[in-house]
């Protein structure tokens, strides 16, 4: 008698099939969507929410629904640079003109350059730049990098704990799996006091993505060099690029990107897309959500 041999199942293939099934389940659980919500909730987006909640359908659904409500109120896709440009005058947050070694968009944050006291506008400015970073992600890339420079930072010019907490909430609950890694470069010793408070707001996944880098610590410097080319890295992060933030130049770039964002979200059209893929007449819907491919 001859025994029939069967190919052993491919674990990766089974895992991929399981994940696709979960995406379909979440899509069905969320129900019909239209407008910006439909565009936001593509398969890549659903996958990120599932991954953020360890593929638990109920928890992922709750997380996504909360984001849709937040986006309907906050309207991140409608923020334009001229509305928040005053927040960026000192270059406290901006999109870098380089990528990491994996082609990911880089946001540079310099908390020591804080120049305003408006909690709401500070958040709108940051959300605008997160959306902009996502809009400029290369094809096939879904995550961004954060580089945080602590030059000039002190407890006296740090953002209030309320703002820090809301920033963390927005990033990890409304942009899940968007952050690849955040490098905190050379924070002063006094930052430890602030960090002891902020770290309790972070979930485990986000916490593990935060890396402290000290110029005299070879291990942390080596870790950073695994992700960034020293030749294009700004000098404030131990690199060789001595160029500085130019607000006028950056504002011009953001004005161009605002046109791109308006087109991407279809905000320049008087039509809305329904869940069956057809274009419908203009509606005055309750604000719906969206995000770049896989936001």
Q: Rounded to whole angstroms, how far apart are CA atoms 81 and 103? A: 24
What distance in Å separates the CA atoms of residue 234 and residue 243, rounded to the nearest whole number? 7
Q: How far is CA 19 from the centre of its chain?
A: 22
Q: In the predicted model, what is the mean pLDDT of residues 11-33? A: 89
Q: For residue range 191-225, what is the model confidence (pLDDT) as tens digits?
A: 988 899 999 999 999 999 999 999 999 999 999 99
Can you give the pLDDT at residue 272?
Answer: 43
Neighbours of 129 (CB within 10 A): 23
CA distance 201 to 181: 17
How would you classify residue 67: left for phi > 0, otherwise alpha for psi between -120 and 50, otherwise beta?
A: alpha
Instruction: Give the pLDDT of residue 157.
Output: 85
pLDDT in tens, 98-147: 999 999 999 999 999 999 999 999 999 999 999 999 999 999 999 999 99
Structure tokens at 84: 């928040």
Cβ-defined contacts of 61-64 (< 8 Å, 24+): 61/26, 61/29, 61/30, 63/173, 63/176, 64/26, 64/30
For residue 97, the surrounding DSSP H or E stretch is strand 93-99
pTM (two decimals):
0.86
pLDDT for the residue numbered 12: 60
**Whether the Cβ atoms of residue 176 and residue 52 lie closer than 8 Å to each other:** yes
Model pLDDT, residue 262 = 96
pLDDT per residue over 162-171, tens digit each? 999 999 999 9
Whole-number average pLDDT of the chain: 88
pLDDT of residue 114: 94
CB 242 within 8 A of CB 230: no
pLDDT of residue 268: 83
CA distance 223 to 77: 34
Residue 153 phi, psi (nearest 5):
-80, 145
Phi and psi dihedrals of 109, rounded to 5? -120, 130
Q: Say if residue 42's pLDDT is above 70.
A: yes
Cα separation, 272 vs 285, in Å, equals: 10
Between CA 160 and CA 231 the distance in angstroms is: 35
CA angle 113, 180, 177 (to 5 degrees): 110
Tokens (6 digits) for 291: 């995000």
Residue 90 CB contacts under 8 Å (≥ 6 apart), including other chains: 110, 113, 114, 115, 247
Q: Which residue has the higher pLDDT, 41 or 290?
A: 41
pLDDT at res. 6:
52
Structure tokens at 266: 């279809």
């Amino acid at each position: 008698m001859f025994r029939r041999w069967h190919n052993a199942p491919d674990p990766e293939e089974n895992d991929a099939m399981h994940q696709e099934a979960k995406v379909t389940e979440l899509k069905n659980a969320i129900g019909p969507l239209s407008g910006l919500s439909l565009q936001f909730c593509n398969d890549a987006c659903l996958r990120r929410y599932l991954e953020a909640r360890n593929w638990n359908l109920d928890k992922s659904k709750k997380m996504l629904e909360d984001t849709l409500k937040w986006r309907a109120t906050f309207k991140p896709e409608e923020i334009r640079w001229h509305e928040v440009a005053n927040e960026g005058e000192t270059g406290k947050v901006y999109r870098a003109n380089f990528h990491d070694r994996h082609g990911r968009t880089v946001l540079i944050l310099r908390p020591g350059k804080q120049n305003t006291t408006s909690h709401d506008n500070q958040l709108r400015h940051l959300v605008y730049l997160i959306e902009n970073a996502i809009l400029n992600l290369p094809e096939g890339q879904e995550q961004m990098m954060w580089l945080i420079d602590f030059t000039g930072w002190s407890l006296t010019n740090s953002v209030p704990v309320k703002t820090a907490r809301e920033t963390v909430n927005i990033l990890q609950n409304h942009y899940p799996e968007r952050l690849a890694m955040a490098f905190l470069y050379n924070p002063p010793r006094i930052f430890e006091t602030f960090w002891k408070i902020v770290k309790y707001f972070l979930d485990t996944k986000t916490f593990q993505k935060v890396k402290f880098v000290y110029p005299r610590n070879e291990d942390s410097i080596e870790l950073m060099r695994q992700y960034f080319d020293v030749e294009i890295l700004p000098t404030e992060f131990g690199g060789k690029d001595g160029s500085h933030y130019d607000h006028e130049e950056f504002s011009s770039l953001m004005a161009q990107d605002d046109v791109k964002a308006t087109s991407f979200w279809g905000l320049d059209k008087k039509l809305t897309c329904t869940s069956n893929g057809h274009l419908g007449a203009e509606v005055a819907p309750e604000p719906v959500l969206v995000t770049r491919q896989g936001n």
